[in-house]
Structure 1
Amino acid sequence: MQTITVGPSRIREAVTMREAIDAVRAGFLDLAAGEFEMPTRTALRDGQFLVMSAHHRATASAMIKTLSLNFARTPAITGTVVWTETGRTDSLVADAGAVTTLRTGAAVGVATDLLAPADAGRLTLIGAGAQAPDQVRAVHTVRPLRELTVVATDPRRAEKLAESMAPELPGTHIRTSADVAAAVGEADIVCCATNTTDPLFAASALPARVHVNAIGSFRPTMRELPDELLAHSTVVIDELDAVLEESGRSATRSRRAASPGTTSSNSARRCPRPEHRGASGPCSSPSASPCRTGPSPACWPTSSWPDRQTTSPPNHLTAQPPDHLTARPLGHRPVPPYASTVAAGGPGAAARRGGPARRPVRRRRRTRGAGR
């Protein structure tokens, strides 16, 4: 029996951002196909400790990630990821800080690739903490950046981040700003990576067509996006139960504002997988696991978009969306034309607003704060 330990530098050497994005995309597909058992993560001490677990049926492997979060220290995110499988006696222990920032960035990359316009090249990043560099790397991987604007409460941190990213972004105009409204008003893509409890900007500050990724709100008291944006955008999430559990107040309020009458009760949800759907609609699976693992995670409220439920596998993650659509997001709910989209993953969200996106062959999430 052997325990293999992998530190931050080795993780970075072993996995490029492109490889991480491809792996996360494949993971979401498996998640939607019911290949994972993945309970909603456990939050202790009001989110200062997070415990996540997952079992991948296809490989008979499992992992447990434990995080400690303290935004007053450096690094703010520490912990371990322990991976094991039934066919081996050894196990792997990896640095959770590096895995978390890489994975969260990769999820943003998947979302941006699926939802942002093909010609998007101006990014405004709000936040200059540990998650920030991988947000930029991920967006740049799928949408080469012409301009990067960094906004942070501490101008020195914004300048430091801008300087550190310059060697990785040759040809990109990089600047810092203290004016959030002006910075987001000029963006094609906005990434929010903060631990704020108040919305970072007003919805009116955004341009008519924009894609927004929000990863920082992993507790119900945290909020990065204004209600108006969530209520008038198409919101895309990766795990509905996690959002309702961890960002429940603003998510529920905003969804109700957008779709009056929508309910989040289990009895009102309909499973998108035909083999689990009973004659009357609600999931008839004897096990809740397969129906609680998908990006949507298995059951969108039936009062919301009842005619838009899909029963096919999530080929929308790899297939080209029609011109008038921003792409079918990570869940099983298509994005309607002429709508903003907020892509939300786990506790985070991503949004897009604007008229028809004109893109030939491409597409889009939301990400998750201190995500899996």
Structure 2
Amino acid sequence: MPESTFNHPLFGPVRFRTASKLKWIRGDSISFVSGFDEADIVPLKIPQLAGIDGANNGHLRFHKRGHAQLLRSFEEIAQHGLLHHIKTCAGTLSKRLRKPVGGGLSKLPSNHAFGIAIDLNSDDGSMGGSVAPVAPIFQANGFLWGKSFNDPMHFEVNTFVSAGALAAEGAEAVQPQFIACGQKVHNRGAPPEAFLTELVEWGRGADDEVFERNDVFDIYSSVVSQLGPWRGELHRRAVMLEVLRVLAGFESSWKWDAGRDVTNPSSGTPCTEEAGILQCSGNSMAFSPHLRQLLVDAGGDGTCESFIRTTKSNHRFALEYCARLIRVTTKHHGPIKNGHIHSWLRRDAVDEFMRYLGHD
């Protein structure tokens, strides 16, 4: 049966295995081998959930270090008269692999397996979007809202907060979700939150192979001094997101529909014209046949003209294409080739991306 190690942002290295004997299966059941004590997931009673469908009359299992902040969240929801927004509860503990919203395979354990996540209003027709009025309360108590990765039913512990700290802090203003990731890039300003949200959503659903090790001098080789050493698959995903965050700032100031670089005298043909937020050009498809196939799979006809149109209109394609391109060459983008992005890459942004990527 497949077995792997996951470097969890809250618990550190955790060894686990899946139930399947031969291959990885989306959402497969898992068991922990080492690094995580399941005895820390213990029962608690949330009085406010009594009578809520799926909540087992308020009796749930949750990691003991998160009890205080979960209880505090529901207490404040009730105090603010917002409890009526919670219609159903899909539970907390589920020992399984992540199930990305996009339907792809993930080889990472869900945070439900660690007993630090809860799903609310999953059957409201908007994947839990109706819980929006209570989200700021969860966020103020150390939870991350799944809306940032297109899973609004989902709340999970982002930082453990003790009962004493909650009592001392009281009800404070909610901090923005993106802090480290929202840092400015050179003279381009700060990335829009909408861009960061789409970036995280893509990163959660992208195939594992986009981030796996290879024998080419690629983007990971280029930025290892700034962001390495690599600490596993989740860390490599987060590093890629940080590279794309900074590169998009340099190339277009985060404009999805950016056109050609008018200062480049060689970009006057469809195949040399830069396009989109990451300013890739159609001639870059020559670096790998897989890149042209990616365009075709996205609905293009394989020509440079369709590359320009698709890159500007299909955000997921733009991110995926650039990520795969910089895995085979670091010479297509001047800011990478000339080392301009490197001093703007942030380890704290990578850590923040890891927290956002490690959810389900």
**TM-score under structure 2 normalisation?**
0.25
Q: Which has the larger radius of gyration?
A: 2
Give the strand-richer structure, 1 or 2.
1
Give the helix-richer structure, 1 or 2.
2
